[in-house]
Chain A
Amino acid sequence: MWRGTHLTLNALAVIRGERPLIGGLSVDLSGGDAVALVGPNGSGKTSLLRVLAGLAEPAAGTISLQVDGVSADTPRAAMVHLGGHLDGLKGALTVAENLAFWVRYFGAGPGALSAPDALETLGIGHALNLPAAVLSQGQKRRVALARLLVAPRPVWLLDEPTAALDVASAARFTELVEAHRSQGGIVVAATHAPLALQTLKTLDLATYPPRGPDSEPGEAEGLATALSGDEYWLEGRSA
């Protein structure tokens, strides 16, 4: 569905408040890649996802996201989905109303599933006309994930996507991620739980400590070894 998806981070530094979290992060992702962001609590996983989504500015470095057929002027925020800790559902509205709002707000686009189909895919088709307030935590999370299907976007930025999901739902989620990758999308997920994805790359934020602008150029070589798995997606950039 998407061609030529490229997400490039160049010497990215992330600061939350006054506290530097990440420094010198250079990564080149293309369509089909899936990355698991790991690191201890407070290592900057959520902050990095917010920066990638365009909600916060990086302290240094650049991010570029290109998708064939999408104007280069399109802000990054309009090309990504962010799945946060919170599900963004309005309890007073039904599940159908919640999803219908996001479809209208984001625009459905090509390849979009209808709300009932998306919910069925996630195994909660029966919840369509229930108020979101009565759903359990796991059901709410699945409705939030349905948002990714009713308004397709090339890049998924997910924060603990499988938290609160049971084993069967987590397996369904894995299938969705694989389907998204096979359509040329990119998935970046911050997670503590292991994800059973094929050729999953792991990015350990603990290996990108914040550093000053006058850091040694030799540090860039260390980046490649910090990444486990294949390196086909990584272009080691020396500073």
Chain B
Amino acid sequence: MSEQAGPFRALVARDLRLSLRVGGGALTGVLFFLAVITTVPFGVGPDLNLLARIGPAIMWIAALLATLIGLERLFQSDRDDGALDLLRLTDAPLSSFIIAKVVAHWLGASLPLVLATPVLSLLLALEPLAIAALTATLLVGTPALSFLGAVGAALAVTLRRGALLMAVIILPFSIPVLIFGVAATRAAVTEPDPFWPPFALLGAVSLIYAVVGTVGAAAAIRINDG
């Protein structure tokens, strides 16, 4: 990347690099995802039909929780070492800083989950069409979780143990994402339910959260760190 690359790309690149380093959050989320997906079949037992039926829901819940794990420190790590103040010393609006942080988090923590989904879905006895639908819904739906989490992370930025508070704030708002994500996946393999309406609604939720989350997180940072 050239030196002329804007602050946005510089920040995304730095956060991605940090998340991939030792102690970064990227691997934690993927390992958590992997742990849930591999243990569920043992817990549910050898009923493949049951597993295939609840598989999409399990995958979505695991993705939701794996996303939340890393999000708590989205802004806190920058605040703890003083970088948050410095990052605000630009002519770019605070919202572009928020978007850069969320994009980097999504690329580092959520995209690996999406990429791992086709492989891990095999453990839950999903059929190919369901796997494709599940991967598509996770790809479209996880950005909503990241933007939503940014609001929680920004609200909890000054708190030492903000993870619990963040989860309490965020979980209710993540329900629509979960509902439409699982509904679309299920509809893909269940006749005559249509796949596209819930999928389109999932995309709409993502777009709404991208806007609301950015504005909300920026406001929370301004209040907390002003």
Contacts and interface: CB of A to CB of B under 8 A. Distances in A.
Interface of A: 50, 53-57, 74-75, 77-78, 80-82, 84-93, 97, 101-108, 147
B86 A82 contact: yes
Chain A residues touching B, majority SS: loop
Given A77-B89, A84-B86, A92-B23, 4 more contacts: A50-B85, A81-B89, A88-B81, A107-B7
B82 A84 contact: yes
B91 A75 contact: yes
A103 B21 CA distance: 21
Interface of B: 1, 3, 5, 7, 9-11, 13-14, 17-18, 21-24, 80-83, 85-91, 225-226
A77 B10 contact: no
A77 B82 contact: no
A237 B7 CA distance: 39
B91 A105 contact: no
A81 to B, nearest CB: 7
B11 A105 contact: yes
Contacts of B88: 54-55, 77
Contact of B10 (A78, A91, A101): A101
A86 B3 CA distance: 26
Contacts of B23: 92
Contact of A88 (B7, B11, B85, B91): B85
Contacts of A84: 82, 85-86
Contact of A90 (B5, B22, B81): B81
B85 A105 contact: no
B130 to A, nearest CB: 39
A89 B77 CA distance: 11
Contacts of A55: 85, 88-89, 225-226
Contacts of A54: 88-89
A48 to B, nearest CB: 14
Given A55-B226, A105-B7, A82 B81 contact: no
A74 B3 contact: no
A106 B7 contact: yes
A80 B91 CA distance: 11
A78 B7 contact: no
A92 B24 contact: yes
A196 B9 CA distance: 40
**Which residue, of A53, A77, A80, has the highest number of chain B Cβ atoms within 10 A?**
A77
Contacts of B7: 104-107
A106 B7 CA distance: 7
Contacts of A106: 7, 89-90
A92 B90 contact: no
A94 B44 CA distance: 47
Contacts of A57: 226
A134 B220 CA distance: 33
B99 to A, nearest CB: 15
A163 to B, nearest CB: 13
Given A55-B225, A90-B18, A78 B91 contact: yes
Nearest to A157: B89
A22 to B, nearest CB: 16
A183 B11 CA distance: 30
Nearest to B8: A105
B176 to A, nearest CB: 35
Contacts of B86: 82, 84, 88, 102, 147
